[in-house]
Structure 1
Amino acid sequence: MRTDKENVPMPTQPNQLFISTAPYYARYRPGYDPAMYEHLRLRFSLDGTQRVLDLGTGTGTIALPLATLVGEVIAVDPEAGMLEEGRALAEAQRTDNVSWLLGDSTTLPAMNIGPVLLTVMGASFHWTDRHQTLRDLETLIEPAGAVVLASGGAPGDIEPAPWTDVIAEVRTRYLGPGRRAGSGTYQHPAERHQDVLAQSTFRHLEIHTWDRTVTRTLDEVIGLQFSYSYSSPAQLGPDKAAFEADLRDALIKYSPTGLFDELVRTEVIIGSRTQTR
């Protein structure tokens, strides 16, 4: 059992962090509320013919559900491991209208993607140079299109489940108090996404939220931790097994039933060039 922060693992390169999370991300992340996709279908009259870009797709959390509504999804991610998991999921679901491309916001202008109605981003937007990314998207997104940012809401919007304190205590013992991200620690941007959008061509904003309760088993809660870059297998290194054992013990003491409820929010920020009527 780790009792202090001595011998905390050294920071890991960002690509190693994300590659090691890929199988856990695909299996344990809850995804976004189905109501979000229905809202996009109605808002943009999606009828199976449109092209959309999913920038920072990961394992296709947004791309795969969206593919049922449009003609083509261009799914872009900088990590080959994430794309590999996405392709496998697409094949298992018999989804064949997603193009999986290696790249990121900095390579976007040279990728010859062509016009898209929507550019959707999940947690990826905060990792980019947001102002520059929006400038680059001006030439890609069709006049009636939009930027769509999906997330779990800003930090503090939802009261964390009490059992997350148990996880934070164990994680701190192994990795320190900061959420590690590559060579440093992750800090949520001070400037809100909607404020960045408001300074761009896509300044006309809509914000919608949906809340639901997700019940996870003990194994699902533990697997979820390995889907985060700040507690990924690569970040933990040789301490992964000990971390898992300590976390399992602490969580089962907290909830002997082995079930853990959490209120999960889906928030979508839509930025378009014109005001919605």
Structure 2
Amino acid sequence: MSLFTGTASYYRQFRPGIPEDVAECLGQAAPSRTGGRRRLLDVGTGTGLVAEALLGRFDDIIAIDNDADMLVAAESVLRSKLPESTRLLLVESTAEDFVPPVEWKADLVTICRAFHWLDQAAVLVLLEDQVAPDGVVAIFGDSSFWTATSPWKEAVRDVIKSFLGEERRAGSGTFQHHNRPYSEIMEESPFGQVEEARIPVHRTWTAEDILGYLSSTSFAAPHLFGDRLPEFETAVKERLTDFSEDDTFPEENEFLIRFGRRSRR
């Protein structure tokens, strides 16, 4: 069972998308192709937020995820927005099991908000044969509600803990923390030449947005609460009233992008 079983509709509606500044940074990092097709491999695509943001910058896109419901949601959105000359292939697969078409090599691999779920070193080794010689691997994401430090987010996290326990949930189990910086892991991989970019982002949430976002996560998915879900939602709304009189909750966040390239010889 996927860690995100039952969350696809919430994920598509309430997960923040990829800002234009982030999409521009990703697009510029990948090599250009004069007269050739520019290829994108999006790993852990979910409902296709990254692929959607990069439409028009790549004309041959493969997006993979191991959750069939997520891919259905991605298909419903991406297909209608696809430029006429762009090819899109959605594949139900884990990153560890994915095999691209013969001779297909990515110019850019994107792994957004998903690297912590992967066998990280193994996936980077597998990508050695899936990425063009001058291609780039981009591992990136912003802070989730669980790790953020703003007062209202901390309050929401406390409510979650009061219902589900102190340890961060991950579906039916608990989240296994990775203590090593991603840059170190990348530096030991075939893509050991690593550069970082940081792009700030400002958002404003409502209580409905926050509850929808939580329903899209592995640590607060609706099924985890069982018949206590209405009680949990009421508790979150009541706690949030301590931080806003007009149902607006500002967030200052940041996308950290790590670009990995093969070391120059």
Output the TM-score relative to the length of structure 2. 0.90
Aligned to 1:167: 156
Cα gap change, 1:174/1:147 in structure 2, threshold over 3 Å: closer, same or farther? same
**Equivalent residue number for residue 107 of structure 1:** 97
Cα 1:112/1:80, change in 2 over 3 Å = farther
Partner of 2:42: 54
Deviation at 1:250, TM superposition (A): 1.7
Q: Find out whether 1:247 has 2:236 as its counterpart.
A: yes
SS of 2:49 mapped into structure 1: coil
1:265 match: secondary structure? strand
Query: Of 4, 17, 22, which aligns to 2:8?
Result: 22
User: What is the RMSD of the two structures over their aligned residues, measured on CA atoms?
Assistant: 2.3
1:126 aligned residue: 116
Report the Cα offset of residue 49 of structure 1: 2.7
For structure 2, the 5+ residue unaligned runs are: none
Residue 39 of structure 2 is aligned to residue 39 of structure 1: no
Mapped partners of 2:145, 2:138: distance in 1: 19
CA deviation digits over 1:190-238, x for unaligned, max 9? Answer: 1111111100110001100011210112211111111111100122222
**CA distance in structure 1 between the partners assigned to 2:93 and 2:170 by the alignment:** 20
CA distance in 1, matches of 2:30, 2:242: 48
The Cα offsets for residues 247-266 of structure 1, whole Å up to 9 and x where unpaired, read as 11221243121000011111
Q: Equivalent of 1:272, from 254, 261, 265?
A: 261
Aligned partners of 1:22 and 1:85 also within 8 Å: yes
In the alignment, which residue of structure 1 is the partner of 2:73? 85
Tell me if the contact between 1:77 and 1:102 (Cα under 8 Å) persists in the aligned partners: yes
SS in 1 for 2:54: helix
Contact 2:29–2:136 at 8 Å: present in 1 too?
no
Describe the superposition over 1:39-93 as per-residue Cα deviations: whole angstroms up to 9, x where unpaired.
2222325468311110110111111111221111100000001101111111453
Tell me, what secondary structure is at the counterpart of 2:190? Answer: coil
Report 1 or 2 for greater relative contact order, CA contacts < 8 Å, sequence distance ≥ 6: 1
Distance in 1 (CA, whole Å) between partners of 2:240 and 2:250 is 13
**Structure 2 counterpart of 1:3:** none
Q: Determine the C-alpha separation between the residues in 2 that align with 1:165 and 1:113.
A: 48
Once the 2 structures are TM-superposed, how far is the Cα of residue 183 of structure 1 from its aligned partner?
4.0
| Rounded Cα–Cα distance in structure 2 between residues aligned with 1:58 and 1:36 | 18
Which stretch has the larger CA shift, 244-253 or 120-129? 244-253
Tell me, in whole angstroms, the C-alpha distance in 2 between the residues paired with 1:227 and 1:155: 12
Q: Which residue of 1 aligns with 2:197?
A: 208
Q: Which residue of 2 aligns with 1:4?
A: none
**Any idea what SS the aligned residue of 1:70 has?**
coil
Return closer, same or farther for 1:55/1:220 CA change in 2, 3 Å cut-off: same
Asked if structure 2 preserves the Cα contact closer than 8 Å seen for 1:109 and 1:136, the reply is: no
Which runs of 5 or more structure 1 residues have no equivalent in the other structure? 1-13
SS in 2 for 1:230: coil
Q: Is the CA contact 2:197–2:256 (under 8 Å) kept in the aligned structure 1?
A: yes
- Could you say what secondary structure the match of 1:249 adopts? helix
**Structure 2 matches for 1:162-241, cutoff 5 A?**
162-241=151-230
- Per-residue CA deviations over 1:131-159 (Å, capped at 9, x if unaligned) read 11111111110100011111116999x96
Q: Which moved more, 1:30-39 or 1:166-175?
A: 30-39
Query: Residue deviations 1:109-147, cap 9 Å, x none?
Result: 477582111111012211111111111111110100011
Contact 1:207 1:268 in 2 (8 A): yes
Instruction: Tell me how far apart the structure 2 counterparts of residues 112 and 222 of structure 1 sit (CA, whole Å).
Output: 43
